Amino acid sequence: MAILKIARMGHPVLARKADPVADPTAPELLLLVQSMIETMVDANGAGLAAPQVHVPLRLAIFQAPEERLDPGLSQAERYDHTAPLTVLINPELEVLGPDIEGGWEGCLSVPGMRGLVERPAHIRYRGVNLQGEKIERTARGFHARVVQHELDHLDGILYPQRMGDLSKLIFESEARHWMAPEAQEELEEAQT
């Protein structure tokens, strides 16, 4: 395993549609996933798509652990506990309703920035894992957001391209000015 170099916005690998994975059970794919997990954890990310580590394959990993808490997020945007560490290969996404939710997103490929992105609130996703077994789940809240964000990478889309209002693309260092009051209080408590 190794910590991999993360491609940044502007690199061509992030702008192209990723190729399907021919054999989800291939040993080299397991090695890639292990390194992606190590890279994601090292970068304090919630997800990572293969194109972000310069591998143009339809593969993403993500998690939404309950214990991970970002004081810069409002209560509604916090991680839910419905998404364990997941390896999703050759995924498909289905929107399950008309409701849209806005939330602040960051990205390991767009470091130091956050943007307010509106996304479908309720989705279903399908794919296979490293054993070739089918995965199918429905998701709401942060779980739905992180899945959509990572699957966008597989189609060459970065979150700023999903933003309706680029005036809400900000530096993380300025996020406190956009936070809900309860999130601001928690951030201040965490800093003391």
Active site residues per annotation: 150
- The Cβ-side half-sphere exposure at 1, using a 13 Å CA radius, reads 11
SS (H, E, C) 7-27: CCCCCHHHCCCCECCCCCCCH
Which among 129, 178, 97, 98 is positioned nearest to 21, based on CA atoms?
129
The β-bridge relationship of strands 100-107 and 110-120 is antiparallel
With contact defined as beta carbons under 8 Å apart, do 128 and 60 qualify? no
